[in-house]
Each structure stands twice: as C-alpha cells, then as structure tokens.
Structure 1
Amino acid sequence: MSGFVGDLSPQQTAVLEKFRQNVKDVLKPKQGDYYLLRWLRARDFDEKKAEKMLRDALQWRQEMGADTILEDYQPIEVLEKYRTGGILGRDKSGCPIYIDPYGLIDMKGLLRSVKKQDILKKFVQVMESVGKICEEESKKNGCQLDTMTIIYDLKGLGLKHMSKESVDMYLAIVDASESRYPEVLRRAFVINSPKIFPIIWSIVRPFLHENTANKVVVLSGNYKEALLKEISPDQLPACYGGTLTDPDGDPRCKTYICQGGTVPKECYSQAVPHHAMLTGNIGRGSTLQLEYEVHEPNSILRYEFQTDGYDIGFGVFRKNSKERLKASEMDTILSTQRSNCHLVPEDGAVECDSPGIYVVRFDNTYSWARSKKVYYVIEVLETESKSNMEVSNDDDDNDDDDDEFVMAQDTAF
C-alpha cells in the first residue's frame, strides 16, 4: 500500500492511530491524517522515529519563527536580488511549481553578504508560501493538495559553485527540506545538468530519503517535451517550452523567478571563521605542499584559503608517485599565482580528469623577509565514496621553477 489516505494496509492504519495518539499534544486542529501520514511515510511507518522527527521539526519551527514568518518576514535586499528561484504556475495536478535557475546563483557572494541563518529563513519563508498556496488550492479545488513540483535549471553550474561553504549551505537546505518539510516534493526535474552532476548527486543523495530520491528526474535532450507532459503550456515559462512571459515579453519570467547573478563585493560583510579551517605555517622562502590521492577520474578538488596578512602563492599539480617533486617536475593543473587572500578569502575548484596524487602548493619562496600563516579547507569530491588521505609536507628548500555528463531522457535516480 502507498501509505496515503485511502490506500493504507491494516498495519499502516494501526500505526497511524498509535502515532496520532502519541503526538496529539502538539497537533493543531487542521493537522489531520494527510499531515500525519507525511511524517510516517518519511520514516517508513516507524511511529517512534516519526514522532521524534515531528517533535524535532516543531522545535525547529519555533526557533525559526515559521508559524508567523509570512506576516513578519523582513526581506534582505541583497538576498532578494541575488538568490535564485520563485513560485510560478501550477502543474497538471494543481500543485504549485517552484523554478530555480540554480546555475546562476553566487552562493559564495551571498554567504559573504548575509548570515547562513538569513538564507535558511528565506528558505522557510518560501516553503511556508508554498504551504499557503496548497491550502488555498485545496479549498478551491475541493481536494487535498500538499506537494510541489520543482524545476532545477543547472545551466551555468560549474566549479565555482563547489566551494565548501557553498555546498554546505545547499546541503543545509536539502536537510531542512527532508527533515522539516517531509513528503512535500511531488516531483523534481533537473535540466541542463553539467558534466560534474554525478559528483553533485553523490553529495546530495545521502541526505535524501529513498522516496524523495525516486522523485528526482534528470532530463536531457528535449526536456521541454517532458516538462509539458506534467505542466500545461500556460503554466510554464516560454524559455522552458511553455507560453508564459513577463509583461515585457521576457521568456524567463524574471518578475517571478529570481535569476541570481554575481553579488557585488561591496555587499560583503561576512568573513570565513578561522576555527573552521586547518592551519599551516610557511617559513620565509619556503613552501607548503599538501597531497591528496584521487582515485576516480572526473573528480573535483575544491579549496578555500586565506592568510592573516600578506599574499601567498597558490598552485595545484599532479604526480603519479609519492616521491617528493618540485613544481617543475609535476603536471600543472593550476599554475602558481600570488593571491591577495589576506584581503578577500580565495576559493575555487579544479577538475581532476585523471587519478593520481594532486599536490596543493602554497608558495612563499618569493618572500625572504616574512613567514606566513595560512588557513585552509581542501577536499576531494569523488563519485565513489572513498577516503582521501592527506599527507602534509612542510618544505624549506627553494624551488628553482619560474614559477558531458548526459543521462537518458526521463532517467530517474
């Protein structure tokens, strides 16, 4: 049985009744069987796990002010202007559609400009808006609607989106979706997926319940035709195959769907906390080399670093053995450049096309007067779950260098 109202086995019906009794002290009058079954399905009808999940979520809602956020939410200008996404249209079942051109987001810039909690509050405000729409549509149509359809447009998504803080922020949103708003997703369509999507999916997948993962559909080729099977043309922006446009004819419907963009640095106000980073001391005229073993081709090495004062050289290289080599003796992945990371933290990512040992190299050989302290976070992301051992080498000798992923149509995970 599906676990939905009207399709319950005798055992599921008994669990529902027990669950209702266990949580009756926190239920509101309008939170009936449809509401309760969402939590039970999310925990495979284990009423104890479902109760804990529900009570934890209610505590979180109180902390986030979710029950009153639609009335008292105070928009933050940079967040409203540079986040991505918006609610527009209904699918053929009557559920609201959320369209997110996530490939256009500058999450790093947002996290430099607002607090993580501000981004989470915006997420709550959006989800509560979806809930209100579902409630209104349910009354209008005379049937229960409590789910949403999402379209993730990943065009433009690349290595710049893979910084640790950006990925961690997105995972926090995914986790909140799963644990605080369970079974709200009807279907998620992923379009314009980039080459690095398998790595992205391997990061996100562990946060999703099997029910949710099965609702994610990656579309390639003629995705517009596939979207129109679920969404009527007059409910879908013209850029995705529908007929909706802004009043000025814009096919992306920017009035309703925020298109993101690069956050101006003058908006920055947040700094990366040093306690979240590892530290390394680089003597004057010296280098610090960190080695990371990559097992899978097309993996990603992402980095973030800053210094207390003064610039530092930074480069990424590859070698095939654990032998200590100079930069000139290794394959150059990212040539060494001096970074003013004492002013603005540096972050980024490089593609690791081939397996091997990738060497992240901080270069202070040009400085004979000052040693440097560097704070850094470096990780290797692979499609397969493998441990990556870091070997840190502090070297005082001087270098003599001058220094498409495509899935089949309608492939569901």
Structure 2
Amino acid sequence: MVQKYTSPVRVYKYPFELIMKAYERRFPSCPQIPIVMNCEVISEWESPDGSLRKTERRCKLHVDAPYLLKKVIGVDHVFFIQKNNLNLRNRTLEIEAYNESFANRVEVLETCRYFVHPENDDWTCFEQTAEVDIKSFFSIEHTIEKLAMKQYSANIAKGKEILEHFIVQLKDEGVTVVPRWVPSPEQLEEERESPQEAVSPDHVTLCSKPRRNSGQQTSQECQSQLDSEYIQRYLGQLDLMQESKLVQLRKSFAQLHKGKVPNDSTLLRFLRARGFQVDKARHFLSESLSWRKKHGVDKMLSEYKIPPIVESYFPGGWHHHDKDLSPVYLLRLGQMDVKGLLRTVGEDGLLRLTLATCEEGLRLTEEATITSGSPVSTWCLLVDLEGLNMRHLWRPGIRALLHIIEIVEANYPETLGRVLIVRAPRVFPILWALVSTFIDDVTRTKFLFYGGNDYQGPGGLSDYIPEEFIPDFLGGPCKTAVCEGGLVPKGLYLTEAELGREGVHNLTDDSIYHSVVVPKSQTYEVKIDISEPGAVITWDFDVTKDDVIFTVCHGEGREKVEVPFKCRDGESVQGSHVAAAAGPFYLQWNHLGDHKAHLMYFYEVVSSADYRGSMSSLQSASSSLVANR
C-alpha cells in the first residue's frame, strides 16, 4: 500500500539566504514541532569555496499514536535520516529524509526543495513530495497508513508558519538581510580561465493570476506546479491531500499532453467529480478533451450565433448573481414549447445552445472570481415551472433532454451549484421521475423545490438571491431580459427533408413515429394490451393533412373512456390516460372528410410502478388532451 503526497509550491516573500538562516533554527529541536525530539549531526562537508554544504542528521521523533498502538509496536519513538544538500551558488536546498526504524516494514521517503522564485529574485519557493509504503506492520497496515498520512499532513501545515515565526524572530534581533554568497576574486579568475556551464534550478512557473482563456496556456501560467496561495485565492480551500491530487493531475497532464494542460479550475472540477482519484479523473478528463476537440467546443463562444427562433421563443438566459456571487441562469421551463423548438432547430440546435450556455457559465465564474476577490466555481440555476403540463412530457422531447443531460454531465462536472425550482405544479413529479435517474447523485442533492407560492417570504428565494435581483414575474423588482417563450408557429417547422439536410435529429426516424394515411370515412386504430390496472398510456400525434376525430376506447366493445376530440389539419396533440382496468385499449382516429387524412403518431405505456408516489399527479391529467396550436 503506497500513499503519495505532492504539495503545491509554497512561496515565502523573503530572499533565499534569509529563509536558510531561519531554517537553521529548526535544529537540533524545535518547540513548534514537538514530534521532533532531537536531531544529531552524523556528518558534515563543505566545499573549499563555501558554496556547497552537505549535512546528514539522525532525527529522533516521538510516536504520536494512541497508547494501545504504541504497546503493539513496542516503541515510543522512531529514527529518521535526513540528508541536506545546500548550494549557495545556485541558491537551492535539496532535502531527502527516510525512516531508519521499521525500514523492513514501512518505507517513508520525503524529498523537499527550496529554490528562488523564477519571477522574483527576492522570493523563495518550497516544494515537497512524500511516499509512504506500508509493507507489513503487525496486521494493522491500514491503521498505520492513515496515522502516518494524518501526522505528515499536520506537520506540513505547520511548516510555513514555523519559518515565518523564525523570520520574525530574526527581525526582532535586527537580522533583516543575509548577504548572498559570492565567489572570491581568485575563484572568478579561475572560472574565467576554465568556464563551466552554470547549474540552474529546474524552472517552475507559478500561477500568480487566473487564466481568462480556458483553452490556452501562457508563459505566466503553471507548467507543472501550483502556488498554494494561488489555490486558496482562485480555487478555494482544499485540504493538503486535495492540493496534492491537484498537483499530481497537473503534472500528469503536462507529461502526457506536452505542456498543453487544462486550466486549474477544470482539473479541480474533474477531480471532485471522481472523488479526488487521480487516475479516474485523468481518464474522465481525457475523454472530455477528445470530445471537445472532435466537436470544436473550444471555439463555441467565438463562433456560436443564437438562431432567431431561439432568440424569440427560448425562455432562458443569464440573470445577475446569487448571494454567493455565482452567476444565475433563469429558465422559464413551463413556458417552453419543447416540441416547437425541436421541430425548428432540432436536438442538435438545443444541444449547441446548451453547450454555449455552459461555456458562458465557465467564463462568468472566472470573471466573478476576479471581481469578487474570492473563488466562484459554480453557477446557480433558477427554474420557473409555471405552465408546465402534459405537453412537456412529449416523449421525444424527454429523450432529447436526457441526451443533453448525459453530455453535460460527462463534460461539465461540478459546474452547477444550487438549483432552485419554483412554482412546481402537480404534474412535475412525473417529469422529475423521468429525468432524475440520469442526474448525478451529488447534483441531485443541490435541488431545492418550491410548490405554489412557497418561494416567497422567509425560507424562499430571498435566502439565496438578493432581493433586488428577484425577477418581476416572481414578485420581485427586477425586470429580466429573458423572453417569455410561448408556442412556436407551425409555419416555422422544418420539413422532414430539411431536418435531415440540416443535420437535425429526424423525429420520424427509428420508429419513434408511425406515419399513416386514413381513407375517407374510415377509422384507423391501434390496439394496446394493458396487463395491470394503473398503467399509463401516453400519446402524441400530428395531423399533417385534413381533420380527424380522436378517442380512446376500452374492451372488445370499444367503450369510450375519453371524450372524442376533433383535431384539425396542422394540429399537434399530446395526452395520457390512466387505465382503470386491464385488457385491450384502442387509440382511434376517425376521418369524415372527402379526402385522405395524414397523421404521424407515437404512443407509450408506462408501468404504474415507475411513477409510484406520482399517481395523483397523473390522475389529475388523465383525461387531458392538450392541443399545440
């Protein structure tokens, strides 16, 4: 079992030489690190010119473990070997430490490095890595592993604080400047006569400001490491192991993709989505990057143009921010003509609109992070369901929605913060039952539902959105730029040929719809066998030529269970019926005109078990026939 830790770079805003002076005060013991009982110098070596120093110490460490565990292992302290290589010429200190005690059972290897900040000669950087390999330890390997990493993390957290303490102590003693090492005149002469290639520390570029372009890297951005202060300022508070996983994922991508690394907020989102498991997050993100490249998503913001149909009939858009300063996206789903939008811009058009919205959301969160002075990584979704009815349960529309959700979940994890659902009608549980199983478990916990007028007053929207930004149609003072939606005129629908030519999902393909011709004075019917009472029959059809009368019948005697409904040329109809009894049901279209009638229809039977708990909502709409005029 191997636990790995890689720290982000920690920056001390002091010169390297002063940091080294403070570092020396940690030995032979340090009250601020009580676990270190004493450090004995085993060997020391210094080069003739004083630029190189090598020190080896044997450190006695107190075992900070429960009493019972100490009894099991039989010791109260362990020994570590620490080797320091100080290079004053290059201004670097490299440290390697490993355990002497229990070396045949446990291997602990720590490497640290102090070096000059690559962009500021008067600052010093510190980076640290460690591996703990528990081979066998009295059958308590897992306990020892957790204890070791807990103790190690605690000591790391103290490291910077302790050096800062000694810096202040030096200042109190009047030591604010420590001269840099410089070669003597004789050494300079020797170097001129025998020039040697200068050894410089590995270049590490540190993040000092957030990136505005999520797809590009600049010389100011991180190549392999991250600054811990940058993480807290722009990415948020992470524990030490989460910081480590972020650095590991960045290094991994830098190696695999030749320096083309996604921005840090993207790395963190995919890590969070996979529980900070680096390998899984790397695979998840690699698949998403391939998808982005294949579909040109990186160019979405610069190239996407909103179709006129969407501008006029899509009731959604950005609307200020919530109390956490996250951007708010407002969607009046109850006013959306799902079928009309799909028949005009197609599933691909709605998908591209969704992707453009997600890309814009990423840009807005980056801007909010800069302007607010604190990390903003998610956006808030406010959904108004007033007007939602059975028309919105049109099955092809649901399938398109689920497909879009699947793509968004795979490529924009951890971008959606709080979801506020207001004015949810009785039919909503049906839609939620269809959709919720396709939404990530963590994402589902972010949904807050308000029925009726519960969103008003204490405990409502004002708990999350500033009063001045609550939309006017929800009783607030703020006017919105979001259109009201409404039904898309049938005259704007694309033909089947146009749907195919435009690359839009053809709603009449793959047996979703059946096209039929009803001769004069005849009836076309579809038999549906229902095996259990309470099953739900849903239907959707378009009359594309002439008029028909539609009804639903039960039993061999064709007893009418729905009031006959006249459907005119060009109308779309959606509806449902809860079967009170088992047996055969019939959907009937009767044509009384002088010419043939044409129609496209789709039906589905849903088991009552699929909507257990939502039957009252279904029952309230069981006899509804909603015409999309």
TM-score (norm 2): 0.51
1:268 is matched by which residue type in structure 2?
Y
1:316 aligns with 2:552: yes
Aligned match of 2:467: 233
Q: Give the aligned residue type for 2:465.
A: I
Q: Aligned residue pairs: how many?
A: 363
Structure 2 contact 515–598 (Cα < 8 Å) conserved = yes
| 1:144 partner SS | coil
Partners of 1:102 and 1:72 lie apart in 2 by 26
Q: Which residue of structure 2 aligns with residue 257 of structure 1?
A: 482
Question: What's 1:222 paired with?
Answer: 454
Post-superposition CA distance 1:303-362 (Å, at most 9, x none): 234689776553223x4xxxx4232x24x225254664xxx4744122528565572423
Give runs of aligned pairs for residues 168-179 of structure 1, distance below 5 A: 168-179=399-410
Q: Secondary structure, in 3 states, of the residue corresponding to 2:419?
A: strand
Residue identity over aligned pairs, in percent, reads 24
Residue 289 (structure 1) aligned with residue 526 (structure 2):
yes
Partner in structure 2 of residue 352 of structure 1: 578
For residues 62-111 of structure 1, the C-alpha deviation after alignment (integer angstroms, 9 at most, x for no partner) is 34432222222222111111011111111111100111111001111111
The amino acid across from 1:224 in the alignment is: Q
Tell me: CA distance 1:55–1:129, structure 2 relative to 1, closer, same or farther (3 Å).
same
Are positions 1:266 and 2:491 aligned together? yes
Two-structure CA RMSD over aligned residues (Å):
3.5
Q: In the alignment, residue 441 of structure 2 is paired with which amino acid?
A: E
Question: Are 1:95 and 2:321 counterparts?
Answer: no
Distance in 2 (CA, whole Å) between partners of 1:355 and 1:218 is 34
* Superposed counterparts of 1:89-128, under 5 Å: 89-128=320-359
CA distances 1:186-237 after superposition (whole Å, capped 9, x unpaired)? 1001111111111111111111111100001111343123110111112222
Structure 2 partner of 1:133: 364
For 1:398, the equivalent position in structure 2 comes to: none
Q: Verify the 8 A CA contact 1:300 1:349 in the aligned structure 2.
A: no
- Note closer, same or farther for the CA distance 1:227–1:368 as it changes in structure 2 (3 Å cut): closer
2:512 to 277, 281, 300: 277
1:70 aligns with 2:307: no
Secondary structure of 1:218's aligned partner: strand
1:204 aligns with 2:435: yes
**1:365, CA displacement in angstroms?**
7.8
- 1:361 corresponds in structure 2 to 587
CA deviation profile, 1:109-138 (whole Å, cap 9, x unmatched):
111212221121111222222211111111
Distance 1:5 1:91 in 2: 18
Q: 1:177 to 1:274 in 2, by over 3 A?
A: closer
Q: Which residues of structure 2 form unaligned runs of 5+?
A: 1-234, 497-506, 618-629
Greater displacement, 137-146 / 21-30: 21-30
Q: Report SS of the residue matched to 1:59.
A: helix
Which of 281, 290, 293 does residue 59 from structure 1 map onto? Answer: 290
Partners of 2:344 and 2:401 lie apart in 1 by 16
Change (3 A) 1:149 1:359: same
Query: In the alignment, is the contact (CA less than 8 A) between 1:296 and 1:382 conserved in 2?
Result: no
| TM-score, L = length of structure 1 | 0.75
Task: Provide the residue aligned with 1:192 in structure 2.
Answer: 423
CA pair 259-308 structure 1, distance change in 2 beyond 3 A: closer
CA contact (8 A) 2:543 2:568 kept: no
Q: Distance in 2 between matches of 1:227 and 1:158?
A: 23
For 2:300 and 2:518, the matched residues in 1 are separated by 52
Amino acid at match of 1:276: S
Q: How does 1:372-387 map to 2 (within 5 A)?
A: 376-381=601-606, 384-385=609-610
- CA offsets, 1:121-171, max 9 Å, x none? 111222222211111111112222120111110000101111122222222
What is the aligned partner in structure 1 of residue 564 from structure 2? 335
1:195–1:308 Cα change, 3 Å: closer
> Relative contact order (alpha carbons < 8 A, sep ≥ 6): 1 or 2 greater?
1
Q: Hey, what's the Cα distance between the residues in 2 that align with 1:36 and 1:77?
A: 35
Instruction: Describe the superposition over 1:234-291 as per-residue Cα deviations: whole angstroms up to 9, x where unpaired.
Output: 222233343323xxxxxxx2xx212211111221114332433365878975643321
Cα deviation, residue 39, structure 1: 1.5
